[in-house]
Amino acid sequence: MADIPGHLRTCLQMGKIASLAILVSGGIVLQILACALFNNWWPMLSVIMYVLLPMPLLFFAGSDSSSLFNESDNSWINAAKFLTGASTIGSIAIPSILKHAGLIGWGALALDLSSYVVFLVAILCYLCMGDSDDYYSFI
């Protein structure tokens, strides 16, 4: 990307951020639709897991995100990985349990799980962007 002019590089980086914003807002819309279309607000319990999901990484991993992708002997990093995995499973388990209990229908379950998939795609896209710190250099 060295031969691309600066203004075009900035535009491409803004496009990456805009696409992430569109994905996240799409996930929020799907989550709200899962509740509003069926006049049942029980699927909103999944939002608790969406809020709790990044907390172990923020508290235990800190700014050293590179240690999350390798095998580490650091017990705090391992605790962060475990709690993040538990929150991820909880994001799928809560709507499934609500459906099994008869509190929500198949449509709300499908919309809730599709919201989870959209959030997961947004997180994976963010991780695939790389570790370059120049995303906000245009400000």
How far is Cα 65 from Cα 126, in angstroms, rounded to an integer? 13
| Claim: this prediction has a pTM higher than 0.75 | yes
How far is Cα 31 from Cα 18, in angstroms, rounded to an integer? 20
Of 43, 25, 26, nearest in space to 34 by CA: 43
* Residues 94 and 45 sit within 8 Å (Cβ to Cβ): yes
Over residues 56-76, mean pLDDT = 70
How far is Cα 3 from Cα 7, in angstroms, rounded to an integer? 12
Top-confidence range, 1-15, 50-64, 97-111, 112-126: 97-111
CA-derived radius of gyration, the chain: 18
